[in-house]
A and B are shown apart, each in its own frame.
Chain A
């Protein structure tokens, strides 16, 4: 148990280190510096570069970056004077996380219930309808869905605000847009797993003993089917929490994705690197906790791990 967790944690730390190193050197491979686009007096430029430590040799900058990172400091933003990357993340992450959390909730509830219903009514018309909807959900990209929803609900029907407003109503469209794809994928996953589980002997036995169909479905089959979904949910949670760039752009939400896009355009290297590292960190933490969770709740995974 402890060995397994330590092994996983060490691997994740390794991944984190590789990502930090790659981001850092990528950003320094770039021709020019954040000041190339501005006309600056050479002496002023020198002073600015010195202030941010950009005049030092690359390896010195790298070690000082690592040193600061160990103290969870992602450095100053190069574009917004006086603001640190930490400030920007602190400010924008809650926006992304709110939308993301709601989308996660909506897509799991919708996905699991539709998936179970679909599996229970396999090959009947509700199942076919759900499958058709999921195919649609998986092939309509979020930039199409988001704009379509704005056009329909905000411009034509005038029911909901098109962009972030102070009222919670402004969250409806972004959450719907963000939840559509994961909901479709979860429906498919749950349906497949449920159909597989429903064919097993213990379900047949439970039915043969005359248990009512609903309780067989929800109490006996569903928990087993769900353990396969956790693996998918954890990276999804991270993706949704950190926000979808496209959705934030379309709905003008001041979230992490928006900052990422503008920082890429601004060549604000520290901010790009900082958000990349933060994003990877959230992803790794959530996959790591899912791994541990699965290890704890599903004895089979332990056996599989020992065999492999």
Chain B
């Protein structure tokens, strides 16, 4: 599935860009000459030039260094939120799909109820209760994102629940947990991977939304969202302070979305192929 997706050049470019983001955002601050939080008030609000490639902000902090550091925080939040999303979504979905009966009714009832509540309201509420910070933001995001995932996985599991290989495993004495990990998980892996690819940009955007609302990461830490939020204050005078963070966010989000689209397509081809062989 991955290999098929990689055949597309655009997808390859996106993957390389994502890799670049990850490597630079992790390693960037080590070999880069400016610290993201070191202030130089004499250099405040300078436009892009040879010294500061992307200009500086209102405290004279180098914008490129801040974007690199901001991408790291945004990616960290997105990664862990996605991890929570996929794990909780898989567990709830597969337990619900496998067990059926009352447990299924209760779990899916819960999912249905939360499905009807606007997600950002839950996120805002959770971040208010948990106090904004990197950890609490990804917890809040993860706790909202898993809801559609659980439904998706439940659907998958209900289809394969009565497949011969599952029955056979059961006859051989596999318990529900082993069944889930050894047999259900590999089948659901493509779906989970696609979900993850879409969940990361969702989380990045949600984090930006929270920052603009004023519930973002606390200073001196700054995510891409915080940089954009700061940029929104000053873009009428210093447009670059808004433009560069926004561009880096859009490129990152676009890359993950294209990757997700490609995975989804490759996966549905595979599903089609399976049906034809039956």
Contacts and interface: CB of A to CB of B under 8 A. Distances in A.
Asked if A pairs with B, the answer is: yes
B250 A30 contact: no
B275 interface: no
A147 B116 contact: no
Contact of B239 (A12, A151, A246, A276): A151
A272 B257 CA distance: 33
A287 interface: yes
A150 interface: yes
Interface in A120-178: 138-141, 143-144, 147, 150-151, 155, 162
B257 A139 contact: yes
B165 to A, nearest CB: 27
B117 A264 contact: no
B214 A261 contact: yes
A23 B125 contact: yes
Nearest to B124: A264
Contacts of B253: 139, 141
A18 interface: yes
A253 B232 CA distance: 15
Nearest to A29: B129
Contacts of A151: 235-236, 239
Contacts of B250: 139-141, 144
- Kindly name the residue among A144, A150, A239 whose own CB sees the greatest number of chain B CB atoms within 10 A: A144
Contact of B242 (A29, A140, A147, A155): A147
Nearest to B256: A139
Contact of B117 (A138, A139, A144, A280): A280
Nearest to B126: A26
Interface in B90-130: 112-113, 116-118, 120-121, 124-126, 128-129
A117 interface: no
Nearest to A140: B250
Contacts of A143: 208-209, 212, 228, 232, 246
A138 B260 CA distance: 14
A151 B117 CA distance: 35
Q: How large is the interface on A (under 10, 10 to 19, 20 to 34, 35 or more residues)?
A: 35 or more
Contacts of B228: 143-144
Contact of A246 (B121, B125, B212): B212
Nearest to A280: B117
B249 interface: yes
B116 A144 contact: no
Interface in B200-249: 205, 208-209, 212-215, 228, 231-232, 235-236, 239, 242, 246, 249
A279 interface: yes
A199 interface: no
A111 B88 CA distance: 35
Contact of A279 (B121, B205, B235, B246): B121
B208 A141 contact: yes
B2 to A, nearest CB: 22
Contact of A264 (B112, B128, B242): B128
A22 B114 CA distance: 11
A284 interface: yes
A144 B121 CA distance: 22
B254 interface: yes
Contacts of A19: 117
A181 to B, nearest CB: 11
Contacts of B121: 276, 279-280
A251 B124 CA distance: 21
A216 interface: no
29 contacts: A11-B112, A12-B116, A15-B116, A18-B113, A22-B125, A26-B125, A30-B129, A141-B205, A141-B249, A143-B208, A143-B209, A147-B232, A147-B242, A245-B209, A246-B212, A249-B213, A249-B232, A250-B232, A264-B214, A264-B215, A267-B128, A272-B125, A272-B128, A276-B125, A279-B118, A280-B116, A283-B118, A284-B116, A287-B116
Q: Which 9 A-B pairs have the closest CB atoms?
A: A144-B246, A139-B254, A15-B116, A276-B121, A26-B125, A261-B213, A15-B113, A147-B235, A18-B113
Given A264-B128, A279-B118, 7 more contacts: A30-B129, A139-B257, A144-B249, A147-B231, A245-B209, A264-B214, A287-B116
Interface of A: 11-12, 14-15, 18-19, 22-23, 26, 29-30, 138-141, 143-144, 147, 150-151, 155, 162, 239, 245-246, 249-250, 260-261, 264-265, 267, 272, 276, 279-280, 283-284, 287
Interface of B: 112-113, 116-118, 120-121, 124-126, 128-129, 205, 208-209, 212-215, 228, 231-232, 235-236, 239, 242, 246, 249-250, 253-254, 257
